[in-house]
Homo-oligomer: A and B are copies of this chain.
C-alpha cells in the first residue's frame, strides 16, 4: 500500500515510521506545493498522513483515508463531501492539543494580568520600574469569563480556571446572539476556541466585538476566520479592549505590514498553542494506532463528519 506522508519529520522520526510499517510504501513529500513530484505521488496513494492541499484530495483516484496532523479541517470543508465521503474518510487530532493549548491560554491571560510582557520589555532595556507597575496589575480571581466554544480545549480551560473561582459562561454550537451579547457586555475575558467552518466564519464582527465590556481581554486560539481583524485592531487601538492574546490569524505567517504587529497590548503567540517537545512523536503514535485499527477493520478514532460539521 502507498502512504503519502506530508508531515515534517526528523530523520529519526522518518525511520521510526518506516520500521513500524515495514510492508508499506511510504512516500515522503512534506514540501507539498513547492515539490513538483508531490502531486503525482499522492495520486498513487491509498492513505495520507498530514495535511495535503484540498484539491488534491478531491481528485485523488485511490485515496481512502486522510489522517490530518491538526484539529482544524477548515480548508477541506468546501469539498463536495456528500460525494467524497462515500470513498474517503478523514480523521483529525481533536483533543490532542487541549492540554498545551489550554496552558498557553492561561499563560497568555496571566501574562496580561500580571504584566509579564511589559516586564520582559523593561528587562531588555535594563529599566527598573518596580513599584510604579504594581497598581497596573490585576488578579484573575473571581473574573467574569465567556468561553466561546465547548470543545476539548475550553473544557480544559475551565478545569484550569477552577481554583480562580471565576464566573464562567460557555457558548457552544447553539449560541444565540442576544444571550452572547449580554454575556460579552459583562465579560472580563473572552476566550474563543472554535474551529473554522461556514458557521463560525466572521462571527466576531465589528458589532459583536463592539458589545464586549470596556477593558476586557480577548483571547483567540481557535481559527483566525472567526474575527474581523480590522475591528479587533481598532478595539485595541481605541483602548476599548485592554488586551488580546492571538494565536491564530487569517494569514500565517502574519504579513509584515499587518496591524496586529503593533497593536497595543496584543500578544501574538504565532500558532504555537499546541506545541510541545514530543508533539510530532505523539502525532506518529496517533497515526500508527489509527493505522492498526484500519488493518483490523475497526472504526478509526476522531473521524470528521463533514455533514454535521464536527
Contacts and interface: CB of A to CB of B under 8 A. Distances in A.
Given A116-B116, A254-B128, A134 B267 contact: no
Given A123-B268, A129-B270, A141 B110 contact: no
A120 B139 CA distance: 21
Given A119-B269, A162-B163, A275-B137, A253 B103 contact: no
Number of copies of this protein chain within its complex = 2
A165 B160 CA distance: 10
Interface in A197-224: none
A164 B162 CA distance: 11
A129 to B, nearest CB: 6
A307 to B, nearest CB: 31
A290 interface: no
Interface residues of A, number: 57
A133 interface: yes
Interface string A105-123: 0111011011111011111
A117 B116 CA distance: 8
Contact of A116 (B108, B122, B135, B140): B108
Interface stretch (A36-44, A51-59, A276-284): A276-284
Q: Is the interface of A mostly helix, strand, loop or mixed?
A: helix
A7 to B, nearest CB: 11
A13 B128 CA distance: 25
A15 to B, nearest CB: 18
A182 interface: no
B270 A138 contact: no
Interface of A: 8, 99-100, 103-104, 106-108, 110-111, 113-117, 119-124, 126, 128-131, 133-141, 159-160, 162-164, 252-254, 256, 261, 267-272, 274-277, 279-280
5 contacts: A116-B117, A123-B261, A133-B272, A133-B275, A137-B275
